[in-house]
Amino acid sequence: MLFRSHGKLMITGEYLVLAGARCLAMPVCFGQSMHVQRTAHGGGLQLEWISRVRGAQWLHVVFTGPEWRIDHKPGSGELPGNKVSDRQMASARFIRSVLQAAQSCSGDFLSGGGGWRVVSELDFDLSWGLGSSSSLISNIAWWADISPFELFFKTSGGSAYDIACARSHQPILFTYKGRHRLPDFQPVMFNPPFSDKLVFVYSGNKQSSAESLMGFDPRSVNREQRRMISSISERMCVTGSLQEFMQAMHHHEAITAGVLKKNPVQPDRFDDFPGAIKSLGAWGGDFLLAASDRPQEETIAYFRQRRHDPIIPFNDMIQSS
């Protein structure tokens, strides 16, 4: 069995999506595949799990027995002496929690025990924040033949827009309805005529979505703020004007800054940039969206001079339908 799910980027609506604001999000060409096969092991459960990141093995564990004991295989450590890092241990525990949650959602999933071998391949760097967890959850839900949203809400926090992106072949407008209801989302055509003026810039600082949301209270968002963000999401999705798009980016940053009581990234770090810069996802980390009427080569050179890497043009990031 082979499964694949897309990574994601939230273009508008960060944080405020949890208050019911409509967000614009898109699947990206990067993602995660998962190959599952039975092995000859008999008796109780023995599930060998191998995680690879951009072709290199990163984690190799075996989950054993009804208690799902974690055994790290030799050579799987990323520290001297093959020692396992806290990050690897946390990853193994998260994978176990998702598998156990999938089992609780479906009485048939892994109910017969036996041997399994799973190889999960991530084709983007873990630090980029493009949805390593959400694409994993989507793949495991496919394997277990259960709802990916049910599995997500059992194991993770957030709106689940990334789960919607994991299985979409084009951008979406997404509305969160709460943890006990399915979200509302529909595919949209978001491929602006000025796409060659847009680039995604890695900030150099990976942010945990769960941690970034811990201090955010959706009740702090008022109706007008929610309405404005929803309106900006819809406008940025359809406008054919680069100037209008950049104005919407600035407006979105100002609203979100007011809600979070934080400074937007552009005046703080890129005040001389000839265009507009918007945070994507958790503020202070992951990717930024940069738009400018200057040639794309100049925009890329601007961020390279500031030692940002990678810098990915819009058309190289978006998932083609």
Token readout for 96 is: 């176990």
Q: What CA–CA distances, in Å, run from 197 to 59, 193, 294?
A: 38, 9, 7
The partner residues of 8 in beta bridges, in order of sequence, read 27
- In order of their start, the domains of the chain are 2-186 (3.30.230.10), 192-317 (3.30.70.890)
Cis peptide before 310 (omega within 30 of 0): yes
The string of DSSP codes covering 212-278 is: HHTT--GGGS-HHHHHHHHHHHHHHHH---HHHHHHHHHHHHHHHHHHHT---HHHHH-TT-SSEEE
Quick check: 95 and 136 in contact, CB under 8 A? yes
Chain mean position to CA 275:
26
Q: Which residues of 118-139 are buried (b: 16+ CB within 10 A; e: fewer)?
A: bbbbbbbeeebbbbbbbbbbbb
Look up residue 319 and give its DSSP letter. P
Non-local (6+) Cβ contacts of 94 within 8 A are 133, 155
Q: How far apart are CA 280 and CA 272, in angstroms?
A: 20
Per-residue pLDDT of the chain (321 residues; tens, 9 = 90+): 999 999 999 999 999 999 999 999 999 999 999 999 998 876 778 999 999 999 999 999 999 988 899 998 766 656 555 677 888 899 999 999 999 999 999 878 988 778 899 999 999 999 898 999 999 999 999 999 999 999 999 999 899 999 999 999 999 999 999 988 999 999 999 999 999 999 999 987 655 555 556 668 888 899 999 999 999 999 999 999 999 999 999 999 999 999 999 999 999 999 999 999 999 987 766 899 999 999 999 999 999 999 999 999 999 999 765
